[in-house]
Chain A
Amino acid sequence: MTGGFGSRPRKEDQRFIRGRGTYVDDVKLPGMLYGAVLRSPYPHARIISVDTVAAEAHPRVRAVLTGETLKQRGLAWMPTLSGDQQAVLVTDKVRFQGQEVAFVVAEDHYAARDALELIDVEYEPLPPVVDALRALDPGAPLVRDDLDGTSSNHIFDWETGDADRTDAVFRAAPVTVSQDMLYPRVHPAPLETCGIVASWEKISGKLTVWATSQAPHAHRTLYSMVTGLPEHKIRVISPDIGGGFGAKVPIYPGYLCAIAGSMITGQPVKWMEDRSENLMSTAFARDFHMRGELAADRDGKIRAVRVKVLADHGAFNGAAQPSKFPAGFFGVFTGSYDLEAAHCQVTGVYTNKAPGGVAYSCSFRITEAVYLVERMVDVLAFELDMDPAELRMRNLLCPGQFPYTCQTGWVYDSGDYPRALRLAMDIAGYENLRKEQRAERVRGHLIGIGLSFFTEAVGAGPRKHMDILGFGMADGVELRIHPTGTAVLRIAVQTQGQGHETTFAQIVAEELGLSPDDVEVVHGDTDQTPFGLGTYGSRSTPVSGAATAIVARKVRERARVVAAAMLEVGADDLEWEPGRWFVRGDPDSGRTMTEIALAAHSSLELPAGVEGHLDATCVYNPPNLTYPFGAYICVVDVDPGTGKVDVRRFIAVDDCGVRINPMIVEGQVHGGLADGIGMALMESIAFDAEGNCLGGSFMDYLLPTALECPSWELGATVTPSPHHPIGAKGVGESATVGSAPAVVNAVIDALRPYGVRHADMPLTPAQVWRAIQGRPFRTDLAIT
Chain B
Amino acid sequence: MIRKLMVAAWLMIAGTCLAQQLDLKSLDKFAALAKSKTEINMDESMVKAAASFLDSKDKDQAVARKSVSELKGFFLRAYEFNQKGSFKLEDLKPISDQLKGPYWTPFLQVQENNEQMEIWMHRTNGQMDGMLLIAAEDKEVVVMNAVGVANLSDFAAISEKLGGVELPSPVTNPSPPKPAGQKDDD
A and B: real partners? Answer: no
Q: Which residues of A contact B (CB under 8 A)?
A: none
B residues at A contact (CB < 8 Å) = none
